[in-house]
Amino acid sequence: MIVVVGAGPAGIAAAVRARQCGKPVTVLDDNPTPGGQIWRGGRGPAWLAKFSRSGAKLLSGTRVFGGDTSRRILRAETSTGAQEISYDALILATGARELFLPFPGWTLPGVTGAGGLQALVKSGLPVAGKRIVVAGSGPLLLAVAATMRKSGASVPLVAEQASSLALLRFAGGLSPAKLLQGSVLATTSFRPGSWVRRADGNGRLEKIELQDGKIIPCDYLAVAFGFVPNDELAICLACDRQETESIYHAGGHAGGPSGSGGVELSLVEGEIAGYSAAGRTDLAQKLFPKRAAALRFAGRLERTFALREELRILAETDTIVCRCEDVPFGRLQTADSWRAAKLHFRCGMGPCQGRICGPAVQILFNWRQESIRPPVFPARISSLISTDLISNRSDSSMEPFTK
């Protein structure tokens, strides 16, 4: 049995190719429908149709919180309880999440992730007549702005922190098709070399201030500075993103402001992982040139949208960095490592387990998470007991692992 964790583009492509090789495939995803954030709600291209015809089994609403590679099992939780899922080969296609950098007012209601607001609007959030500023870095900003306008909102500004020169250099190497795509999304409100210095409002967002002092009234601020990979499960399983012990990785090439390198990279990596897990390395190798081209494009994105130094000093002493535990920037300045920040201030110890503040402090202080312990998501005590996670933990690993 091949088990795929994640039903986004990479996971779907992996499942389709593995099934075409005649292997039984089960896909686990915590969303109600396949497609991930890219093809949310089942609205997507031909790959979704291929997936539905493939015969792969989809277990929706299933969140993997741990596993045991020596026994080749995953521990997962559903609405009805916990279960252990066995695999012969495992494909991790857990995708990426948005990168947030703290600035004064970023915790106000109305300040959201760019992709997060896009997902909410696609799911039915009414924004007609609302003023929405889109800010941060990366190609996602233009796509989000287009979605907001299509939904009836006004977008007075798209603030891209990358410089005009960097964007022009990047555009010079694009294919005509990609240039056309960018020109369709681009608008007169697009402003390169610009970023939000602070957000203000009385209990809710009312306006934002740019780095040059310009004030723009708005109802929502959709902001993100790229993406970081959801690699907690891989690290927890001691994989460290290496293909070992029948575990393969697809997509999630993030860690910088460009994101994952686009759907093209996710799909080809999913195909390669699917073929490899099914034992058809010959078919996987034929896709290596295509992956290499996608990786080169991802590298260009990384260089173009590299974060400027000014973004590292936006936070003020009282600016909250860890939202779960209300840890301000000034308090973190007294720590010398991620471990010290956790031990002394509980930074990263809340419900999100450092998924928001962890990447932020890596950029602000160059701290790195030294380890990730199960459960990688908050889980019910009954789930931990039923899967023997608590009893199997050694004394050396018995530091707190959930709030």
Among 159, 170, 181, CA closest to 299 = 170
Report the pLDDT value the prediction gives residue 258, as an integer from 0 to 100: 38
Provide the β-strand partners of residue 5.
28, 92
Distances (CA, A) of 228 to 258, 261, 362, 370: 9, 12, 11, 16
Token couple for 251 = 């997509």
How far is residue 361's CA from residue 340's CA, in Å, rounded to a whole number? 12
Report the pLDDT value the prediction gives residue 369, as an integer from 0 to 100: 77
Indicate the domain borders of the chain: 2-98+228-302, 111-225, 316-397
Secondary structure of residue 83 in the 3-state scheme: strand
Among 277, 283, 228, 278, CA closest to 248 = 277
Provide the β-strand partners of residue 28.
5, 59
Which residues, 6 or more positions from 214, have their beta carbon under 8 angstroms from its beta carbon? Answer: none
Crossing angle of the two packed helices 338-345 and 357-365, in degrees rounded to 10: 130
Q: Are 18 and 77 in contact (CB under 8 A)?
A: no
How far is residue 27's CA from residue 35's CA, in Å, rounded to a whole number? 12
The count of C-alpha atoms lying within 13 angstroms of the C-alpha of 77, restricted to the half-sphere facing its C-beta, is 17
Q: Are 36 and 6 in contact (CB under 8 A)?
A: yes
Task: Say yes or no: do domains 2-98+228-302 and 111-225 share a fold.
Answer: yes
Domain 111-225, CATH number (from 3.40.50.970, 3.40.190.80, 3.40.50.11270, 3.50.50.60): 3.50.50.60
Report the pLDDT value the prediction gives residue 114, as an integer from 0 to 100: 95
Domain 2-98+228-302, CATH number (from 3.50.50.60, 3.90.230.10, 2.60.40.10, 3.30.420.60): 3.50.50.60
pTM of the model: 0.86
Report the pLDDT value the prediction gives residue 397, as an integer from 0 to 100: 40
Terminal alpha carbon distance of the chain: 34
Mean pLDDT by 10 residues, the chain (403 residues): 95 97 96 84 79 95 91 90 93 93 97 94 93 95 93 96 91 64 63 97 97 97 93 79 70 48 88 96 96 91 93 96 96 94 93 91 88 81 77 45 38
